[in-house]
Amino acid sequence: MSRLDPDCEMNHSPRVSNRVQQIQKSAIHEMTRLSKQVEDVAFLSWAKPTSDTPEHIKQAAVAAIEKGLVGGYSESSGLLALRREIAAKLKRDNSIDADPAQIIVTVGAIEGLAAALMAVIDPGDEVILPSPTYSTHIRQVVIASGKPVLVPTIEEQGFILDIDRVRQAITPKTKAVMYCSPSNPTGTVFSEEQLCQLADICIEHNLTAITDEAYEYFTYENNYHFSIASLPEMRKRTVSCYTFTKTYAMTGWRVGYLHADEELVPQISKAHIPFAICAPVVSQYAALAALQGPQDCVVRFREHYLSTRNLMCERLDRLSSVFDYHKPGGSYLMFPRILLDQGKDSTTFCKNLLREAKVSTTPGIAFGPTGQSHLRLSFCVSEQEINKAFDRMEAYFG
Ligand SMILES: Cc1ncc(COP(=O)(O)O)c(C=O)c1O
């Protein structure tokens, strides 16, 4: 092509890959941006703990800085001392027979999930995601040039897995199933029984399970967290991703980890290293202190979320002509259905709620097509914030 080629001269827009062009703007970030323009907003749209990181964790990071331990890279898979603690935690709390060689410390759960997808799927491969699901998972599949296949959950039964539909969605191109339990956005905790059925499907069709267990410690009443990799026949075909973000209120530290079979770990590392080299070393020392230190903060967070969940449900009961909901068994999120006609377009509904009632929520459509007519509410906030939001909604909906 000559330098004077008119096409060459005229096209001044930067080149953007198809992969990235397919990705729509994040509704969560969009709502955050719009919320900043509203004074004294009641904020229920972020899935981010509002508590600060516990003091002993912060102090461990300060000590590591003062000792000059954090200026360089760590091993790309993470500090050995940390991986040893993680292996012990996986055995104790997840019944996964883990070894430090099967662990990579990652930049939050998110980087672990992205690296796992890169290692497991090829362009055009299909990944089954029970829907509605965490929007980032859908984007991660697209960035890995895969095809997200959203399989609706059964809302009437509290957004549980629809095992028959998962089975029906499998094609020769299906390579993985990716889910979060407890779920963002619905708060559903997939039962051990259902996860065993899902495991049978993975085994039968040679699929990898990529799990996001970010909310593992936040389950309520008779719901309990079950790790699919604890099934011996699934241990080799699961990449389980975890994080310090939610458990220890360490959102900004960007540290998490994954567990996979030791044959797969070096392959996942090939994706982890060009994305991250290693997780931030200062955060790895903080994570070590989190695992070695007292665990009462986790109990406290859990108790707080249980009481804010109950409050949110009570307040929703008073708006029963506007919302229908399932009480979430876990996480700190819930996903009410909007009963009003204007709820059919969840984005407009949430924007109006923000502008006219000064309540910030997240439109359900952000979590896949089955999320339409819903909105996501976070109860990882103070009781005061919940009451403020619902007082306003009661006045708004009359
Ligand atoms: C299901 C789920 N996974 C992962 C994350 C983010 O985890 P991390 O901060 O460890 O990357 C979130 C945050 O909202 C989440 O809801």
Q: What is the pLDDT of residues 261-305, one digit of tens each?
A: 999 999 999 999 999 999 999 999 999 999 999 999 999 999 999
pTM > 0.85: yes
Residue nearest to atom 2 of ligand 1 (CA): 214
Is any ligand 1 atom within 6 A of the Cβ of residue 181?
no
- Give pLDDT, residue 143: 95
Is any ligand 1 atom within 6 A of the Cβ of residue 47?
yes
Is any ligand 1 atom within 6 A of the Cβ of residue 256?
yes
Beta bridge partners of 42: 359
Is any ligand 1 atom within 6 A of the Cβ of residue 140?
no
Residue nearest to atom 14 of ligand 1 (CA): 47
Could you tell me the distance, in angstroms and rounded to a whole number, from the CA of residue 351 to the centre of ligand 1?
A: 24
Superfamily of domain covering 6-52+297-397? Aspartate Aminotransferase, domain 1 (3.90.1150.10)
Classify 301 as helix, strand or coil.
Answer: helix
- Give pLDDT, residue 5: 55
Fold type of domain 71-292: Aspartate Aminotransferase; domain 2 (3.40.640)
- Give pLDDT, residue 105: 98
- Give pLDDT, residue 289: 98
Residue numbers of the chain with a pLDDT score lower than 70: 1-10
- Give pLDDT, residue 304: 96
Atom of ligand 1 nearest to the CA of 251: 9
Is any ligand 1 atom within 6 A of the Cβ of residue 102?
no
Pocket test for ligand 1, best of 136, 188, 250, 253 (most atoms within 8 A of CB): 136
Closest CA to 117 of 212, 192, 25: 212
- Give pLDDT, residue 10: 67
Classify 250 as helix, strand or coil.
Answer: coil
Where are the chain's structural domains? 6-52+297-397, 71-292
Q: Are 6-52+297-397 and 71-292 in the same CATH fold?
A: no
**Axis-axis angle for helices 383-397, 346-357 (nearest 10):** 100
Could you tell me the distance, in angstroms and rounded to a whole number, from the CA of residue 28 to the centre of ligand 1?
A: 13
Is any ligand 1 atom within 6 A of the Cβ of residue 45?
no
Pocket test for ligand 1, best of 45, 111, 134 (most atoms within 8 A of CB): 134
Could you tell me the distance, in angstroms and rounded to a whole number, from the CA of residue 385 to the centre of ligand 1?
A: 22
Could you tell me the distance, in angstroms and rounded to a whole number, from the CA of residue 251 to the centre of ligand 1?
A: 8
Cα–Cα distance between 31 and 351 in angstroms, integer?
8
Is any ligand 1 atom within 6 A of the Cβ of residue 109?
yes
Whole-number Cα distances in Å, 320 to 37, 76, 120, 362: 30, 51, 44, 19
Place of tokens 């003062």: 66
